[in-house]
Amino acid sequence: MPAPVAPAESPAPISGAQPQTVIVFQDVSISFEGNPVLEGISFQLERGETKALLGVAGSGKSTILKLTMGLVKPDRGQIWVLGQEVSAMKEEDLFELRRKIGMVFQESALFDSLKVRDNVAYRLIEEGVPDDKVQKRVEEALRFVELEHTLNMLPSELSGGMRRRVAIARAIVDQPEIVLYDSPTGGLDPVTSTTIIELLVKQRDVYHNSSLLVSHRLQDAFTMATHYFDRNQNRMVPVDGAHIDTRTSFLVLRDSKVIFDGSAHELASTRDEYIREYIS
Amino acid sequence: MELISPTDYAKDLVLAIQEWTYLAARSIGNVFRQPRYVADTLQQADLIGVGSLPIVVLTGFFTGGVLALNAARTLEQYGSLSLTGQLVSISMVRELGPTLAGLMVAGRNASGMASELGSMKVTEQIDAMRALGTDPSKKLVTPRVVATIIMLFFLTIICDFFGLTGGFAVSALGLHLDAHQYWSNAYQSLEFGDVIIGLVKPLLFGFLVATIGCYYGLTSRGGTQGVGRATTQAVVAASIMILGVNYFASQLLLYLLK
């Protein structure tokens, strides 16, 4: 399969511009049916940064993404996204903000009665973008995930990995400022998982979106932290000695609380017993 | 089986009524707000209206027929067999047409809405829609509510007509009544109030069927089993509400049109 052509841009250099905060969680707590899921969560995501959310199943990683989108409301605390306090906004007011955020759901959540083209084009059609522009942008997004040939297929005709890639195309079709990935490699084989992670690295380094990545697979997060997308080779390559900052950090959850928030290097050198066992 | 305390049950019931009321109010309020999903409304109108036509026609026809059959036995004792048309028309137009059409649409479409929206809910498609900046109450609920109200109105008229036709078939073929006598009797016995009652009810029933179907769909949880449960509950609740509201609407309309 020919490699897709990426725009002529490179990853952010180490000495970049002053970062801006796009997501702020401040002392956020939420419980479902009396069971605390998140307690006193606080963290920030800077513009252009990717933060990998790690933790065992049920630790509240996906809930953080839903809270960011305003799909669920916290019991306590404040959440700001792109300068707006989503925790205090009404549902009707959130729709406008959500159009600036892309989200890839755990099980893709494609509209099963719509073709791939209409799934990817959904947001553009809702915004009243003219048909010719919709077609162009849908083709671009599908080319990005290397699935141009699936335009007229239904989601049920695609494999799990392909569905996940279509979900990524749908999330990035209008280049949102923030992209939220909920276990994009969950349930996929290692080869397909690597393909998905390469797409995420490409998305990060080509378009410089800010993103939150929920993952059960530690190696996915480390791959994102230690690789960048080389547009000359048209593939993901290790950073090694190159002076490139992948701007990828880690946040580890345990028992509803944040127990680590820092860089890959800090994570690897931590003395916390639980984290050492988790990453080993 | 886990027992639920009466207090929790009462709380759940009040919460469900509150959520349904909120959804129902929003579905109507959305009619006056942009964006309006006209294509979705037309698609639903086709599904609900054209799709329900055969069962409504058959239900109306056979109910009218059996009404004539039963009425004739009683009327014959008083030598008033000629009033068969009157009895069939008043029963069909005022009560049975709206109620039967409503129950048929509840069985067919409230279940369809609950299962469709329920499946979308448990596969996170509803959340995906919200995440993509679309209000599901505008995109999914309002088109179904508007389409059901409009189509049930016309389905009721069709049900009434085929009920009268069924009554006529039995009267003409079984009771050997004169066709002109049957139809003129059926027509002349209807008063303005009967027609108004018969045409206001389907508007209420359509609203109930669609909002209840959508409510159970959007609140379903627990995977495929939850969707199945939501579907059953939607049909039961919609049917009971139709029968209950039918009584109170009849009382109110009879009082207002007295």
User: Do residues A178 and A125 make contact, with C-beta atoms less than 8 angstroms apart?
Assistant: no
**CB B124 to CB A112 under 8 A?**
no
Is it the case that residue A16 has pLDDT exceeding 80?
no
| 3-state secondary structure (DSSP) of residue A57 | coil
Closest alpha carbon to B175 in B72, B75, B64, B67 = B72
Cα angle value B84/B86/B90 (rounded, 5°): 125
Top residue of B132, B135, B138, B227 to mutate, by most chain A CBs within 10 Å, is B132
A71's tokens: 């799909």
> Mind listing the pLDDT tens digit for each residue in B115-138?
999 999 999 999 999 999 999 999
> Mind listing the pLDDT tens digit for each residue in B143-186?
999 999 999 999 999 999 999 999 999 999 988 888 898 999 88
CA distances (Å), origin B248, targets A207, B198, B241, B252, B255:
61, 14, 11, 6, 11
Q: Is A107 on the interface with B (CB under 8 A)?
A: yes
> Mind listing the pLDDT tens digit for each residue in A129-163?
999 999 999 999 999 888 999 999 999 999 988 99
Residue, of B237 and A144, whose pLDDT is higher: B237
Question: What's the gap in Å between the CA of B212 and the closest CA on chain A?
Answer: 21
* Chain B residue at shortest CA distance from A124: B132
> Which residue has tokens 């609407």?
B249
Is it the case that residue A274 has pLDDT exceeding 90?
no
State the pLDDT at residue A4: 39
Q: Is A95 on the interface with B (CB under 8 A)?
A: yes
Q: How far apart are CA A206 and CA B71, in angstroms?
A: 79
- The band of B101, judged by pLDDT with boundaries at 50, 70 and 90, is very high
Q: Is B39 on the interface with A (CB under 8 A)?
A: no
Q: How far apart are CA B173 and CA B238, in angstroms?
A: 37
Q: How far apart are CA A277 and CA A255, in angstroms?
A: 15
Percentage of residues of chain A with pLDDT beyond 90: 53
Q: Which residues contact A91 (CB under 8 A, 6 or more apart)?
A: A70, B135
**CB B128 to CB A111 under 8 A?**
yes
Q: How far apart are CA A189 and CA B246, in angstroms?
A: 57
State the pLDDT at residue A41: 94
> Mind listing the pLDDT tens digit for each residue in B14-61?
999 999 999 999 999 999 988 889 999 999 999 999 999 999 999 999
**CB B127 to CB A96 under 8 A?**
no
State the pLDDT at residue B1: 60
User: Do residues B216 and B229 make contact, with C-beta atoms less than 8 angstroms apart?
Assistant: no
**CB B132 to CB A91 under 8 A?**
no
> Mind listing the pLDDT tens digit for each residue in A33-87?
889 999 999 999 999 999 999 988 888 999 999 999 999 999 999 999 999 999 9
Q: In what helix (H) or strand (E) does residue A42 lie, and over which residues does it extend?
A: strand A35-46
* Sheet containing A21-32: order of strands: A35-46, A21-32, A76-81, A84-85
**Mean per-residue pLDDT, B70-83:** 85
Residues in chain A closer than 8 A to B135 (CB atoms):
91-92, 95
| 3-state secondary structure (DSSP) of residue B136 | helix
> Which residue has tokens 């290397």?
A146
- Helix A160-172 vs helix A131-144: crossing angle, to nearest 10: 130
Question: What's the gap in Å between the CA of B206 and the closest CA on chain A?
Answer: 25
Q: Is B250 on the interface with A (CB under 8 A)?
A: no
> Which residue has tokens 């719509």?
A114
State the pLDDT at residue A116: 96
**CB B127 to CB A66 under 8 A?**
yes
> Which residue has tokens 């997004």?
A141
pTM: 0.86
- The band of A5, judged by pLDDT with boundaries at 50, 70 and 90, is very low
Residue, of B239 and A218, whose pLDDT is higher: B239
Q: Compute chain A's Rg from CA coordinates.
A: 18
- The band of A206, judged by pLDDT with boundaries at 50, 70 and 90, is confident
CA distances (Å), origin A97, targets A68, B133, B214:
11, 8, 26
Q: Is A33 on the interface with B (CB under 8 A)?
A: no
Q: Name the β-bridge partners of A180.
A: A103, A212
User: Do residues B212 and B206 make contact, with C-beta atoms less than 8 angstroms apart?
Assistant: no
Q: Is A114 on the interface with B (CB under 8 A)?
A: no
User: Do residues B68 and B82 make contact, with C-beta atoms less than 8 angstroms apart?
Assistant: no
Q: Is B133 on the interface with A (CB under 8 A)?
A: yes
Closest alpha carbon to B152 in B23, B50, B233 = B50
**Mean per-residue pLDDT, A266-272:** 84
**CB A101 to CB B131 under 8 A?**
yes
CA distances (Å), origin B118, targets A107, A118, A167, B210:
16, 21, 21, 14
Percentage of residues of chain B with pLDDT beyond 70: 99
User: Do residues A143 and A7 make contact, with C-beta atoms less than 8 angstroms apart?
Assistant: no
> Mind listing the pLDDT tens digit for each residue in B192-207?
889 999 999 999 999 9
Q: Mind giving me the DSSP string for A92-161?
A: HHHHHHHTTEEEEBTTB---TTS-HHHHHHHHHHHTT--HHHHHHHHHHHHHHTT-GGGTT--GGGS-HH
**Mean per-residue pLDDT, B209-228:** 94
Is it the case that residue B2 has pLDDT exceeding 80?
no
Q: Which residues contact B249 (CB under 8 A, 6 or more apart)?
A: B197, B200, B201, B204
Residues in chain A closer than 8 A to B120 (CB atoms):
111
Closest alpha carbon to A111 in B44, B85, B128 = B128
Q: How far apart are CA B202 and CA B153, in angstroms?
A: 5
Q: In what helix (H) or strand (E) does residue A25 lie, and over which residues does it extend?
A: strand A21-32
State the pLDDT at residue A13: 40
- Report CA torsion sign: B41, B47, B53, B56: negative
Q: Name the β-bridge partners of A49.
A: none
The ipTM, to two decimals, is: 0.85
Q: How far apart are CA B79 and CA A123, in angstroms?
A: 70
- The band of B83, judged by pLDDT with boundaries at 50, 70 and 90, is confident
> Mind listing the pLDDT tens digit for each residue in A97-139?
999 999 999 888 999 999 999 999 999 999 899 999 999 999 9
